[in-house]
């Protein structure tokens, strides 16, 4: 038996609905600040850290969006973005250290 990708939207309590909305707004602001640091970072290391933080904020935003809508598909998308973000950060860090990704 397979599980459905979507469930019926849950009726969230008003305080939880407000908390999710405020947290999503704060994560949106954090993502804007990450993009600013990504574009204007004085060093390459600052840009790599901004990109890594942008991945983390994206994962958190997708999880909150999935909670708000009551669907499971956003959790799977967050997992994929987290894995790709980790691999990308490791590759960029290796490039900064050795100036070569492939050994």
Please tell me the predicted confidence (pLDDT) of residue 9.
63
Q: From CA 52, how far away is CA 73, in angstroms rounded?
A: 22
pLDDT for residue 98: 84
**Measured between alpha carbons, how far is 40 from 16 in angstroms, rounded to an integer?**
36
Domain boundaries, the chain: 14-98
pLDDT of residue 102: 65
Q: Which one, of 66, 67, 51, 60, lies nearest residue 26 by Cα?
A: 60
**pLDDT for res 52:** 94
Which pair of tokens denotes residue 52? 């890594």
Cα–Cα distance, 17 to 72 (Å, whole number): 18
Q: How far apart are alpha carbons 72 and 68 in whole angstroms? A: 11
pLDDT by residue, tens only, the chain of 103 residues: 555 565 556 678 889 999 999 999 999 999 999 999 999 989 988 999 999 999 999 999 999 999 999 888 999 999 999 999 999 998 888 888 887 666 6
* The model's pTM: 0.82
Contact assessment for residue 72 and residue 66, using Cβ atoms and an 8 Å cutoff: yes
């Amino acid at each position: 038996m397979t599980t459905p990708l979507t469930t019926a939207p849950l009726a969230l309590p008003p305080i939880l609905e407000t908390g999710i909305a405020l947290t999503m707004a704060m994560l949106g602001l954090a993502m804007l600040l990450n993009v600013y640091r990504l574009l204007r970072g004085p060093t390459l290391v600052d840009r790599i850290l901004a990109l890594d933080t942008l991945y983390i904020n994206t994962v958190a935003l997708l999880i909150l969006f999935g909670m708000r809508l009551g669907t499971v598909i956003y959790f799977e998308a967050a997992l994929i973005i987290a894995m790709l973000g980790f691999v990308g950060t490791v590759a960029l860090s290796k490039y900064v250290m050795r100036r070569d990704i492939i050994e």
